Amino acid sequence: MITVHHLDNSRSQRILWLLEELALSYDIQFYKRDPKTMMAPKFLQAIHPLGKAPILTDTDGNVTLAESGAIIEYLINKYGNGRLVPLHDTPAYIRFVYWLHYAEGSAMPPLLLKLIFGTLPKQVPFPIRPFAFLIAKGVQTQLVNPQVKLHMDYWEHSLSENEWFAGNDFTAADIQMSFPLEVAAARAGATNGRPHVEAFLHRIHSRPAYQRALQRGGAYAYAKEKGS
């Protein structure tokens, strides 16, 4: 039996979506973020030492697996029967592998930095808060925001060439890429002046499997197409 250890407003939502696309049976263990730190609860470490969602357990093979990309590869290799992955030895497959790894390896780090430096001034003692604000603003202006824009423009260009990231067919790479684009739409205005990014988000949010995953997983703040 497959179980997804699901943290609210997190990457684990896309694992629920993948399972719905594959029409697999699964259970969900729900976890809530700490309201002060917004971190996952400590008892997730009882499932995996790092205590971060998503975590997938599968009693068929006694598997406990973390990391979205690894979970996606495991599920499509074990249960996909060729679905949601291009044929091997094709250009689409090379693009598929690239985007599957790019999502967390390249796209998410600058978005995470934007979140960290955006909230940093609120985390320090009040007397030094103005200095923290100036430092955070400088880092975002000079380093983080240009990198975020570079990636968002890269998505727009890529999606202008093909309807989906790996080509003209929807694949698991699009599921993996959904989270960076959703986060960027919410935090960095990714859809502003980028019609292909906006169209991509509209397409994925309209998929029946995506909607079923929302119903199973509960409230998900990033299921929006417009951001500020």
pLDDT in tens, 21-73: 999 999 999 998 877 766 787 888 999 999 899 999 999 879 999 999 999 99
Residue 128 sits in the same domain as residue 195: yes
Residue 108 sits in the same domain as residue 19: no
Does 138 or 120 have the greater pLDDT score?
138
Query: Has residue 216 been placed in a domain?
Result: no
Q: How many domains does the chain have?
A: 2
Q: What percent of the chain has pLDDT over 70?
A: 92
Residue 128 sits in the same domain as residue 30: no
Distance of alpha carbon 128 from alpha carbon 110, whole angstroms: 25
The average pLDDT across 107-123 equals: 82
3-state secondary structure 164-199: CCCCCCCCHHHHHHHHHHHHHHHHHCCCCCCHHHHH
User: pLDDT tens digits, residue range 68-99?
Assistant: 999 999 999 999 999 999 999 999 999 999 99
Domain that holds residue 179: 91-207
pLDDT given at position 127: 72
Residue 191 sits in the same domain as residue 120: yes
CA nearest to 177, candidates 98, 114, 112, 119: 98
Does 105 or 116 have the greater pLDDT score?
105
**Contact yes or no for 152/196 (Cβ under 8 A):** no
Residue 46 sits in the same domain as residue 149: no
Residue 95 sits in the same domain as residue 202: yes
